[in-house]
Structure 1
Amino acid sequence: MNSTILYSALGWLDLFGIAVFAISGALVAARNRQTLVTFGFFALVTGVGGGTVRDLLIGAPVFWVQDARVPILCLGIALLVWLTPVKFWRPAAVDWFDAIGLAAYSVFGAAKAMQLGIDPVPAAIMGIITASVGGVIRDLISGEPSIIIRPELYVTAGALAASVFVLLVQTGVQGFVAALIAFTAGFALRALAIVKGLSLPAYRGAEEKE
């Protein structure tokens, strides 16, 4: 695999994932009737949080510090959501934008890690971190139940997208095709979780015998 070519081919996923996560962050601020400053903060934290942690872990320059387009994009989205009448946003909009960002960013995070020579399993984990940490920070700040402790599938969908991408690339599938398949798989699983309430079995512990 020529990792440099692969990473370049998947670059579109970066801004796409950032944008939809920024929208989800701004929508949480809207749902809580926050100020424009809070809109911008939520959009930025949600958009770049996971990628920031990923870059720190793999020793890469923190992407949004090196590229002014990223914070400008997040703040622009925050302003756009602020100006948009609330009737255009359905209550479930946060979940759906989050689902799109989750699938896209899982793939891109794994791709960036592989481009820097990270082994396949840690690379897939970097994809999961990229996709989920921003939402975790957003929920902690807003006081909402964290995405990682909700019963329906969330991190699992990100893990599926990242793992499928890494596996396909390792078997020689072209980068864009692998990304498209992995994105579709991750988004489909998360969509099913949103619509059908799919969840993994919860820990039941050592139940008392009757």
Structure 2
Amino acid sequence: MPFIEESDLLDLHKDIDKAQILNERLLDQIKYKNKELRNSKIQRNVLAGITGFFLLGIFALYIFDAGRRSNLTQSKNNLVVTDLDSLDAIRNRMENLKLKNEELSNIKEFYLAKEFLEKEKIYSVQVKSFVDNNITLASESLTNTLFVKTNPFYSYSLGNFETIEEARSFRYQLVKMGFEDAFVASYQNGKRIKIEDPY
């Protein structure tokens, strides 16, 4: 088993910190996109609300005018009571629709964020391949690891880098630590695109 020197371990931690900063940048971009989506959704809901109230106002004026023309005061009072009951029902339905819209927007934001991250091309350093998907090397705290099925094997890669230069630098450090078979590969949509030139 290779021996890891303290300076190599510090360099490895620095690279992991860089990757975490990159992840934070991506999360900031996702938050910005979600904020834009929320703002456009709010504008759309406000416009729909104003249009709904405008149509309700026209409808109410029409009913009021039709009732006023009628000579029967009893039927006029019945229309007003019926109209008030229907307005309460419409308000309740609008409140329910607003709640459902908020729930759906939360779900949509989650999938948009996931889709955004998966579409980005990243680079990682593959250190090992396995025949089975029975990998005990993984830890819940290691967020910068990839497990990808590359037929007929399952590959285990370290690091998520935005540029190939960062991945090559990380690979060089791993080779110095004894992982001589490590190589850089590019990934997108959860699949390996190609094995990159190591230099």
Q: Give the TM-score band, short-chain normalised.
A: 0.3 to 0.5
TM-score between both structures, scaled by the size of structure 2: 0.33
Higher strand share: 2
TM-score between both structures, scaled by the size of structure 1: 0.31
